Chains A and B, each alone.
Chain A
Amino acid sequence: MKKGICCLLAILLSGTLSGCQFKDIDKRSFVLAIGIDRPDDPKKRDQFEVTLKMGIPEGDPTKRSQESVVITEVAESVPEAIRLAKSKMDKEVDFSHCKALIYGESLVRNNITPIVDWSSRRRDIQLIMYCAVGMPNAKEVVQMQTKSERLPGNALILGLGKEGTESPYIKTVYSYDLKRRVTERGLDPIMPIVEAKHPDMLVIDKLALFNKKKMVTVLSPEETRIYNLLTSHNLRSSFRVDAEGTSFDYNLEASKSRYRIQGGKDGKAVIQYTLSGRAVLEENTVGTSVTGPVMRGYSKAAGEKWKKDGEQLLKKIQATGLDPIGWGLRYYSRNWNNATEQEDWKRLYPNLEFQVKADMEIKYTGMIR
């Protein structure tokens, strides 16, 4: 009996310890996307303009529940702005479903570190949140209500992730990854760029490269695609190649990319990329029949194009002095001279040479009917 009372008491008392509080779901308003800018007002240049997009739940699930509330607040810090926003809402602001954080262009040209830190430190913001740069500013991107979305902010979330579209021009960057890239040596942050230039569509086809603090350069859509080819497996894309006096399109079915860093002992290092792919012919502009030798010719041409584009992109990245792919990290991990490896790499980097070996095979002619 005594034991039972003790148990009951322990349970009741530990009720006061429970971390998260009891709050019903209909008393919370879910923030689905955050945008953070620097205010336009020149007097407040070092403050933050925080835009929160919140979904309004609709009672009838058969209806299109597109309604959303957008609140913009300017304050000295992001938490301060959120406190201000909270006093505007009738329900508790909940970040647990926030899946996108948009850094405004004005912010990324200045400094992203405080925001990266804030977003990874808060308990209720999940680390699988997508991060992106918003142009012309984050507010417009967050406010955008595209026609195709049923839930507020869903277009942004589907676009940035791989759940919806699988565009080869989009690089998905999660919050945990961004945080790591900001702090890790030998690996620099990247973020896709979301543009609100179309009246009711978001355009995501560029990639921004950062040094640890701010945006340094922007890769064009074409370069972004090659970047994706170099850094991911099985890219879903088609490429256009000019060869043998004609031009043709092929669709990639499988692709693979590997690299290794050779040398380094004599002050010179070579980064060798090996790309391989299997593809289907998608369009042949000249009506000639596609035979085996023709296909092999096409394959060779496609491989050469990859080699050319790849080396060009790698050289461009090298010229910025950034390391978005993580060569430095790879170099540190494969070399045991712990004391000097970072200096070694710093010396090696400007003189890096790139070799891209593309092993491309256009295997199928596509459907013939």
Chain B
Amino acid sequence: MSSKTREQEVSWLSETMSGQVDFEQRMLGSSGEIGLQYLRSLTNSDTISRYVIVPGYEMEDVKAFESYISSFPGTIQTGERQQILEYVLKGFAYIRIASRGYLFDAVKVESSGVGEAVNESIVQGPRDALSESIEMNLNLIRRRYQSAALKVDMLTLGKVSHTSVAILYDNDRVDQQVLKEMKKRIADVDIDILQSAGELEKYITPERFRIFPTMVVTERPDRVVFNIAEGKVAVIIDSNGFAIIAPVVFSDFFTAMDDKIQVPLVGWFLKIIRYIGLFLTLTLPALYVTFASYNPEILKVQISLLIAGSRAAVPYPSFMEVFLMLLMMEFLTEASLRLPKAIGPTATTVGGLILGQAATQAGLVSNIMIILVSAVAISNFIIPLSMMGYTIRVIKYGMVLFAITFGLVGIVVSIVGLIMYLSGLRSFGRPYMKMFALDSKVKGGQ
């Protein structure tokens, strides 16, 4: 390559990067035959100065420096413009030595480090959460899964963001069909910016009206490891502390990681409690509507008269009352979620205490309703994975609608319908409601 083309190459990169304040361009060596170009904000300047600039002057021979640079793991020799641009944007330094180009790994990672799991906190067991850096996440997972069978497939998604995505699976245990399907779906994703696992989850689920999550999004490395060992596929993406796990069954959403740690009896008890919580949060508002407006004969006479008495001052029909209070509860939950930690408790106090107390005293809602709404809210929070929690939060309104139109029959029908829907649902071709079935050979579906 003549010196002219070399000059062209240098000018090509600097032209593309012109106007970038953090673009650095240096000539090294006594005669300046070594060119160094990188983005300051993405690279670790310490690494650059210690491993590139200092040896660049110390070494007498350019050849020796070239072999020194290429000996680093992660150094890539390339001449392709597209690749050079891509890697420089990632944080690599482009080093040009005697017409040959090298990409030197000097990536600086700013991440929050290994933190504690906040969304899925548990009593006992590991507290680590996945971090924002994919390397660290791989480290967290590999450390827990020390097997050669654990395979990691890396790829890049997002036309602008170029986010690295890793597909993790145990090669010996994984369901090959699911793996193939997962790879195909991820390859089909066509977006500009990918920033979170939830986003990716949305893109790789088939576009269809969907009520229940068919993939688990978790922040716990131990859950990822546990599921990989079960033959599932995990996907982690860079710059986001969450992993996607597929395929899942309904009961996965009701498993907390400390169920395994507890004594079996306690573990079972906790599981049963969660299902009771699920049932209550789904049906209580709907049942209130039926009891108060359709079938008061189901309750004992004492409770019937109590409800009737506490409703005596309420001007609107029972379902208005239910909707009003449930909406209030949703507002409260959302408000305390988004507010800064310092103001959060104020919202709950104002909402829970003052609103609840005042609403009953003003005769807008009945006493029983307040008890019921708090029971609904609390039992909703029992569900360990928030995605399912959100789904259940929405579905209960459907139940209330059925209760308004059909009474108790409506509730029964909607429960039956829900079970039918769940039974028909597939997660990566695997049955979603596989609770008691042994090894189902059901195929097809989504």
| Contact yes or no, B406 A57, CB < 8 A | no
Given known A-B contacts A59-B312, A61-B367, A94-B296, A22 and B317 have beta carbons under 8 A apart: yes
Q: What's the Cα separation between A305 and B292 when bound, in Å?
A: 55
B362: chain A residues at CB < 8 Å are none
Given known A-B contacts A25-B311, A59-B313, A96 and B297 have beta carbons under 8 A apart: yes
Chain B 298-316 residues near chain A, CB threshold 8 A: 301-302, 304-314
| Contact yes or no, A58 B406, CB < 8 A | no
* Chain B 409-435 interface 0/1 with A at a Cβ cutoff of 8 Å (1 = within): 100000000000000000000000000
**B407 CB-CB contact with A under 8 Å:** yes
Q: Chain B's nearest CB lies how many Å from the CB of A338?
A: 40
Q: Most chain-B Cβ atoms within 10 A of its Cβ — which of A15, A22, A24?
A: A24
| Contact yes or no, B310 A61, CB < 8 A | yes
Q: Chain A's nearest CB lies how many Å from the CB of B278?
A: 24
Q: What's the Cα separation between A269 and B261 when bound, in Å?
A: 70
Q: What's the Cα separation between A94 and B406 when bound, in Å?
A: 19
* Chain A 37-69 interface 0/1 with B at a Cβ cutoff of 8 Å (1 = within): 000000000000000000101111100010000
| Contact yes or no, A97 B297, CB < 8 A | yes
**A291 CB-CB contact with B under 8 Å:** no
**A286 CB-CB contact with B under 8 Å:** no
A88: chain B residues at CB < 8 Å are none
Which of B311, B312, B313, B406 touches A15 (beta carbons < 8 Å)? B406
Q: What's the Cα separation between A106 and B314 when bound, in Å?
A: 44
A24: chain B residues at CB < 8 Å are 292-293, 311, 317-318
Q: What's the Cα separation between A151 and B302 when bound, in Å?
A: 7
**B280 CB-CB contact with A under 8 Å:** no
Q: What's the Cα separation between A23 and B297 when bound, in Å?
A: 13
Q: Which residue of A lies closest to B405 (CB)?
A: A15
Q: What's the Cα separation between A78 and B204 when bound, in Å?
A: 67
Given known A-B contacts A25-B304, A151-B301, A57 and B312 have beta carbons under 8 A apart: yes
Q: Most chain-B Cβ atoms within 10 A of its Cβ — which of A11, A26, A28, A94?
A: A26
* Chain A 85-107 interface 0/1 with B at a Cβ cutoff of 8 Å (1 = within): 00000000010110100000000
Which of A55, A99, A124 touches B305 (beta carbons < 8 Å)? A55
Given known A-B contacts A15-B405, A61-B367, A124-B297, A26 and B305 have beta carbons under 8 A apart: no
| Contact yes or no, B297 A126, CB < 8 A | yes
| Contact yes or no, B306 A26, CB < 8 A | no
**B176 CB-CB contact with A under 8 Å:** no
Given known A-B contacts A15-B406, A57-B306, A61-B306, A97 and B295 have beta carbons under 8 A apart: no
A61: chain B residues at CB < 8 Å are 306, 309-310, 367
| Contact yes or no, A59 B309, CB < 8 A | yes
Q: Most chain-A Cβ atoms within 10 A of its Cβ — which of B295, B305, B317, B407?
A: B305
Given known A-B contacts A25-B292, A25-B318, A57-B312, A11 and B305 have beta carbons under 8 A apart: no
A28: chain B residues at CB < 8 Å are 296, 308
Q: What's the Cα separation between A124 and B309 when bound, in Å?
A: 21
Given known A-B contacts A24-B317, A26-B314, A97-B304, A60 and B409 have beta carbons under 8 A apart: no
Interface size class of A (residues with CB under 8 A): 20 to 34
**B203 CB-CB contact with A under 8 Å:** no
**A32 CB-CB contact with B under 8 Å:** yes
A154: chain B residues at CB < 8 Å are 301
Q: Which residue of A lies closest to B321 (CB)?
A: A24
**B291 CB-CB contact with A under 8 Å:** yes
| Contact yes or no, A58 B293, CB < 8 A | no
A18: chain B residues at CB < 8 Å are 405-407, 409
Chain A 310-332 residues near chain B, CB threshold 8 A: none
A55: chain B residues at CB < 8 Å are 301, 305
A97: chain B residues at CB < 8 Å are 296-297, 301, 304
| Contact yes or no, A26 B312, CB < 8 A | yes
Q: Which residue of A lies closest to B314 (CB)?
A: A26
Chain B 173-191 residues near chain A, CB threshold 8 A: none
Q: Chain A's nearest CB lies how many Å from the CB of B411?
A: 13
| Contact yes or no, B317 A59, CB < 8 A | no
B406: chain A residues at CB < 8 Å are 14-15, 18
Q: What's the Cα separation between A59 and B307 when bound, in Å?
A: 9
Given known A-B contacts A24-B318, A25-B291, A30-B304, A65 and B297 have beta carbons under 8 A apart: no
Given known A-B contacts A15-B406, A18-B409, A94-B296, A25 and B301 have beta carbons under 8 A apart: no
| Contact yes or no, A60 B301, CB < 8 A | no
**A20 CB-CB contact with B under 8 Å:** yes
Q: What's the Cα separation between A57 and B299 when bound, in Å?
A: 15
> Could you give 21 example pairs across A and B, Cβ below 8 Å?
A18-B405, A20-B294, A20-B407, A22-B317, A24-B292, A25-B318, A26-B309, A26-B312, A26-B314, A28-B296, A28-B308, A30-B308, A32-B301, A55-B305, A65-B305, A96-B296, A97-B301, A97-B304, A99-B301, A126-B297, A151-B302
Instruction: Report, nearest first, the 7 A-B pairs whose CB atoms are least far apart.
Output: A96-B297, A57-B309, A57-B308, A26-B311, A15-B405, A57-B305, A25-B292
Which A residues fall within an 8 A CB radius of B? 11, 14-15, 18, 20, 22-26, 28, 30, 32, 55, 57-61, 65, 94, 96-97, 99, 124, 126, 151, 154
Q: A61-B306, A96-B295, A126-B297 are in contact. List 18 more A-B contacts (CB 8 A).
A: A11-B405, A18-B409, A22-B294, A24-B293, A24-B317, A25-B296, A25-B304, A25-B308, A26-B308, A30-B304, A30-B308, A55-B305, A59-B313, A60-B309, A65-B309, A96-B297, A97-B304, A99-B301
